[in-house]
Amino acid sequence: MIKVGIAVGTRPEAIKICPLILELKEKGIECHLIMSGQHVDLVTDVLETFGIQPHINLSISNKDGNLGSYFSDLLYGFSKYLADNNYDLFLVHGDTLTATAAALACYLRQVKVGHVESGLRTSNIFNPFPEEGNREIIDILSTFKFAPTQLAYSNLVNKDFSIVTGNTGIDAVRTMYQVFKNNKFNLKRFLDDEYHLKERNYLLVTLHRRESFGAYHQRILESIKRVSNKIEIVYILHPNPSIKNLALSELSNHQNIRLLDPQSYSNFFYLMLGARAIVTDSGGIQEEAFALGIPLFVARDNTERPEILASNCNHLVGDNQANLVGLVEKMLKNDLEQPRGFQVTEIGDGLASSRIASFILKNMD
């Protein structure tokens, strides 16, 4: 039996890796999920949603915010774990420090690495930071590269043992939406009961990118304050103190801005479905919103997921206040509602996990 280790540190990683774990197990592959300890509570919530138990939590947290020392701790933690545990293949997802440290630890012990969501690029090593550098490093170290789109595949320098699979995050969206539809979930009642919100009557906002810390983030928050004069804002606070404290200081005590702590995966999914539009710098949320037909304003100067910009409802707004305010005003004047529901797009059809699992079975010695 093939034995696979899987590294997870953040909630986005967990969301995108859970459908793959279920698929691997269904195909008879033994899977061990190794949590780094980066976002324990948020990851645990996602795992519980999908009925998955972690094999171990390495309990490595970023105590002082220093990326160098944190990466060193992660590398040592995964290296020590791998010294006592043998795997035929180790899977990492995306571009986090957890994924990069796990991939490097595996390389140093000559364990094959599979990179899920391989090939994404902005071609700016500092934007997003440190994700752009991380994903390039992981691709160099990986034996198997699972590219979500044809464009991502074209970015790979070495295409040996590489394949276009679609995005496993879209697999998760498809699963969640099927549950939503099959259970005839009453979204209007949920939003009113849980949050006193009206469907399609608020903007959902999430911000967390490290390269946005400081003046850039400040300008985005100023834009949010101006937009709040036109529509209610639901702002999800990120646990990182550097970005959370600024949001609290700038957005608290504004009548039309609601500040919420991180929500459960299912609750956040319903908040997305009910929003008029989403303002975010998150890569995963860009994908989820696109797959569900939710209008999107990306608070970044570029995106490694340019496919989403094919929709005239999705826009790069960066930190330009006039840009965001103008686009929101235009959206609010448009009475046509964007159809909501899971849809097959350029970034995925909900079947990526099956393709990855089949590829692993076919290509493992």
Catalytic sites, residue numbers: 95, 117, 131, 208, 210, 238
Contact 88, 112 (CB under 8 A): yes
Q: Is 146 helix (H, G, I), strand (E, B) or coil?
A: strand
- Rounded-to-integer distance, Cα 1 and Cα 173, Å: 30
What are the counts of helices (DSSP H) followed by strands (DSSP E) for the chain? 14, 13
Contacts of residues 320-328 at CB distance under 8 Å and 24 or more positions apart, as own/partner, are 320/223, 321/219, 321/222, 321/223, 321/226, 324/223, 324/227, 324/279, 324/297, 324/299, 325/223, 325/226, 325/227, 325/230, 327/297, 328/203, 328/227, 328/230, 328/231, 328/277, 328/297
- Rounded-to-integer distance, Cα 316 and Cα 323, Å: 9
Contacts of 133 by beta carbon, 8 Å cutoff, 6+ apart: 125
- Rounded-to-integer distance, Cα 305 and Cα 37, Å: 27
- Rounded-to-integer distance, Cα 349 and Cα 11, Å: 21
- Placement of tokens 């970023």 in the chain: 62
Q: Any alpha helices (H) in 96-237, and if so which ranges?
A: 97-108, 131-141, 150-154, 168-182, 187-195, 215-227
Q: Looking at 177-293, which runs of residues are DSSP E strands?
A: 202-206, 232-236, 257-260, 277-280
Q: Is 57 helix (H, G, I), strand (E, B) or coil?
A: strand
